[in-house]
Amino acid sequence: MQLEELTQAMHRFVESRGWYRPDSPRPQTPRNLAASLAIEAAEVLELYQWGASPPEPAALGEELADVTLYLLQLASVSGVDLEAAILAKLDRNYGRSW
């Protein structure tokens, strides 16, 4: 599945829950989505917090999926072409030295 297809699948899910409605108890604003993205990213880190071994792939995959869904949604509602942004950033990074 391509990024655009994943984005549309995510939008269908959010719409099915009514979260895009103006009276939603979970307003899907860029600010709220950015906060949710950070929270989900922290949940990825939490899997590594106390363990010496890596987390189970299924648990890690579930948290990474949450991060990805919020990232896709934030990019979409903010008018960011995520694929173009990623490619531009990679191109820029090739010219950088660390």
Q: Which domain holds residue 80?
A: 3-94
35-80 pLDDT, tens digit each: 999 999 999 999 999 988 999 999 999 999 999 999 999 999 999 9
77 and 33 in contact (C-beta within 8 Å)? yes
CA distance 84 to 73: 15
3 and 83 in contact (C-beta within 8 Å)? yes
Q: What is the pLDDT of residue 98?
A: 81
The CATH number of residue 76's host domain is 1.10.287.1080
Q: What is the pLDDT of residue 95?
A: 94
Three-state SS string across 38-64, please?
A: HHHHHHHHHHHCCCCCCCCHHHHHHHH
The whole-model pTM stands at 0.91
**Percent of the chain, pLDDT > 70?**
100
DSSP state letter for 21:
S
Going from the C-alpha of 14 to that of each of 6, 26, 27, 43, the distances in angstroms are: 12, 10, 11, 21
Mean pLDDT value across residues 18-39: 97
Mean pLDDT of the chain: 96
What's the total number of domains in the chain? Answer: 1
